Chain A
Amino acid sequence: MPNPFSVTTDSEDDFAVIRLDGAVDAHTAPEFEEAVQKVIDDGQNNIVVDCAKLTYISSAGLGVFMGFVEEVRDAGGDIKICGLSEKVKQPFEILGFETLFHFCPDVEQAKEKFGEPTDWEAAY
C-alpha cells in the first residue's frame, strides 16, 4: 500500500517554507521532523509550514510542531501553519493548536505574521 508523502523546503533570506504533500502519520512524520531539524540547523528560525497539499495528519505529525516550536521561539523565530483544509484541520483544533500557533490562509500571509506581537509567552 503506497503512502504517498513528500516534503520539500524552499529557503529564502528571511524564511524557510516547508511544504507537506500527502499524509503525515507515524510512518512519514520522521521525514517532516528531519526537514524541520535541517532548517533549524541551517540557522533559520522563521519557518512556514505549507499544508495546502496535506491530505491527513495524525498526532505523530502534530508532535513535530510541538517538539520544535519552543526552540525556534527561544531563538526569536516561530513556526506558522498555513493552507490547512477544513478536514485536515480537525486534529489541530481538537488538541487546541489554535491557541498556540498562528494559522494563515497561505504562505504570503503567514510571512506577514512574523514580527507581529504574540501572547504565546504567557501561555507556557
Chain B
Amino acid sequence: METVERKFTLQVPSSTENLALIREFVSSAATQAGFDEKEVAKLELAVDEACANVIEHAYGHDVNKEVIVRARLDEQEFSIDIEDTGKGFVPADVNQEELEQLISKRKTGGLGMRLMKTLMDEVRYEIEPGKKNALHMSKRLKKTDNG
C-alpha cells in the first residue's frame, strides 16, 4: 500500500513570543494527522519545550536567529525535526534529578527534556557544535477504529 506523506515547515524568529504560534502550528498538523485532543496537547507541549530550549539556550534569545520546525505525517506516525545552528550541548549532561532534589537545590533545569522523553515515543539529538544541532522526535498514531 502506498504511504501518503505530508510535510509542513514553520520558520520563525527566535523569540519566546513565537511559542504560541509554534504550538498552533503543531496543533493544526497533529489534528490533521488524526490525533485526539489529549495527544495533540502532548505534542504541542513536547515541541514547545524543544523550541523554548533552542530560543533560550542555543540562541540566547537572539531574535535575529530563526527556529525551524519541520513536521512530517504519514499513516503511522507524526515526526518533528527542530534544527538550530546555535550553541550545542551534551544531552547526557542535562540534569535529570528527581523533583524533590531539584526543589531542594532551587533548580528547575532539565524539566523540559524530561517532559519530551515522556510525551514522545522517540527523542534523538544530533549535536554538531558550531555547525548544526538537530532534534528528532516522533509519536506513533494510535488507530482507534478499523485502521
Interface size class of chain A, counting residues whose CB lies under 8 Å from the partner chain: 20 to 34
Tell me the count of chain B residues lying within 8 A, CB to CB, of chain A: 35
> Given the complex, which residues of A lie within 8 Å of B102, measured CB to CB?
66
Assuming the A-B contacts A26-B19, A27-B17, A94-B118, are A58 and B104 also in contact, with contact meaning beta carbons closer than 8 angstroms in the complex?
no
Say if the beta carbon of B136 comes within 8 Å of chain A: no
B interface, by DSSP: helix, strand, loop or mixed?
helix
Say if the beta carbon of B76 comes within 8 Å of chain A: no
Contacting pair B108 A90 (CB below 8 A): no
Say if the beta carbon of B9 comes within 8 Å of chain A: no
Contacting pair B21 A1 (CB below 8 A): yes
Contacting pair A23 B42 (CB below 8 A): no
> Given the complex, which residues of A lie within 8 Å of B23, measured CB to CB?
23, 25, 56
Alpha-carbon distance between A94 and B45 when the two chains are bound, in angstroms: 12
Contacting pair A87 B106 (CB below 8 A): no
Contacting pair A58 B99 (CB below 8 A): no
Contacting pair B44 A100 (CB below 8 A): no
> Given the complex, which residues of A lie within 8 Å of B66, measured CB to CB?
none
> Given the complex, which residues of A lie within 8 Å of B56, measured CB to CB?
26
Assuming the A-B contacts A1-B24, A91-B45, A95-B115, are A100 and B99 also in contact, with contact meaning beta carbons closer than 8 angstroms in the complex?
yes
> Given the complex, which residues of A lie within 8 Å of B83, measured CB to CB?
none
A-side interface residues toward B, CB under 8 Å? 1-3, 23, 25-27, 56, 58-60, 62-63, 66-67, 69-70, 87, 90-91, 94-97, 99-100, 123-124
